[in-house]
């Protein structure tokens, strides 16, 4: 959890060094505004499956995608909805066949995330803003392709998000840190192993994850009540999955084997960049 400690230190630095003379908080002292943001989303995937603590296979690769969000805020609270997508057909799988033969191949990875947040502005003035928030989200991850020895696995789960967003405002620039614990529930994985068995569902062990984002915005242009800006948001995101119970695999309804989903972790290191408009 060293990342979380760094987040709190960075938040403290924002509050100490924010200059109220230069600050230009767009929602102070009370006007409500809408903000729309659209941009690119790219990141490095590092997924590991483990058995008894040892890594048994790994997916890595650069993912490209897009993000979009809409936000309403005033002096007291904010509401935000977001959508993120990223994927690649050239991620690298390093692992082994079921008989233990080492294998390395290219594979598909696609991620979708939807989230809605509601936050309360604990501190709100011309220089700084501190807003704890809670939200509900949904994550959909499609891994692999149905061409043996590769095969498609579909991971899905809703989750709750509990975080805090801190922002320091300067003349044309804002600097922030946004960190949240992500608590998944009803985690599932489904596969038919490229059609070799009937579709099987695995109930996964739920473990908390977390994310840290460092949003930076630069106001590029203002016309009347419309403000255009550029944004760059480096981020780190961590998810964890617990081992599933054994599942009986069937073919045309006849049991043919058993299988389980092992412990795993998914780490994403990336950045979002694009344009936004407030009005």
Q: Does the pLDDT value for residue 21 go beyond 60?
A: no
> Looking at residue 159, what is its pLDDT?
98
> Looking at residue 17, what is its pLDDT?
44
Q: State pTM to two decimals.
A: 0.86
* Distances in whole angstroms, Cα of residue 83 to Cα of each of 5, 38, 80, 247: 27, 10, 10, 33
Give the model confidence (pLDDT) of 108-148 as tens digits: 999 999 999 999 999 988 889 999 999 999 999 999 999 89
> Looking at residue 274, what is its pLDDT?
97
Q: Does the pLDDT value for residue 6 go beyond 70?
A: no
The span from the CA of 177 to the CA of 166, in Å, is 5
Can you say how many angstroms the Cα of residue 23 is from the centroid of all Cα atoms in its chain?
A: 30
> Looking at residue 242, what is its pLDDT?
94
Q: Does the pLDDT value for residue 16 go beyond 50?
A: no
Task: With H, G, I as helix, E, B as strand and everything else as coil, classify residue 4.
Answer: helix
Q: What band does 219 get if pLDDT is binned at 50, 70 and 90? A: confident
- Mean pLDDT confidence for 211-215: 98
Q: What band does 14 get if pLDDT is binned at 50, 70 and 90? A: very low
**CB of 105 within 8 A of CB of 81?**
no
Structural domains in the chain? 2-278 (2.40.128.100)
Mean pLDDT of the chain: 89
> Looking at residue 225, what is its pLDDT?
78
């Amino acid at each position: 959890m060293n990342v979380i400690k760094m987040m709190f230190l960075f938040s403290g630095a924002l509050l100490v060094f924010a200059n109220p003379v230069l600050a230009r908080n767009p929602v102070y002292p009370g006007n409500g505004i809408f903000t729309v943001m659209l941009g690119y989303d790219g990141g490095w995937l590092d997924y590991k499956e483990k058995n008894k603590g040892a890594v048994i296979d790994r997916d890595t690769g650069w993912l490209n995608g897009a993000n979009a969000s809409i936000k309403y805020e005033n002096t007291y609270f904010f509401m935000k909805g977001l959508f993120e997508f990223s994927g690649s057909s050239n991620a690298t799988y390093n692992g082994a066949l079921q008989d233990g033969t080492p294998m390395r191949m290219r594979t598909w990875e696609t991620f979708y995330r939807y989230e809605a947040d509601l936050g309360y502005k604990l501190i709100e003035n011309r220089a700084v803003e501190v807003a704890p928030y809670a939200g509900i989200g949904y994550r959909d991850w499609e891994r692999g392709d149905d061409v043996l020895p590769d095969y498609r696995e579909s991971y899905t789960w809703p989750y709750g998000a509990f975080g805090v967003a801190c922002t320091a405002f300067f003349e044309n620039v804002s600097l922030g840190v946004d960190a949240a614990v992500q608590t998944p529930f009803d985690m599932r994985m489904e596969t038919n192993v490229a059609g070799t068995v009937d579709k099987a569902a695995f109930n996964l062990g739920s473990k908390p994850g977390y994310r840290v984002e460092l949003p930076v915005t630069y106001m590029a242009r203002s016309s009347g009540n419309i403000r255009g800006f550029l944004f760059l948001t480096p981020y780190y995101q961590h998810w964890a999955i617990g081992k599933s119970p054994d599942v009986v695999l069937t073919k045309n309804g006849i049991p043919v084997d058993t299988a389980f989903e092992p412990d795993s972790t998914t780490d994403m290191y990336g950045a979002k960049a694009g344009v936004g408009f407030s009005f």
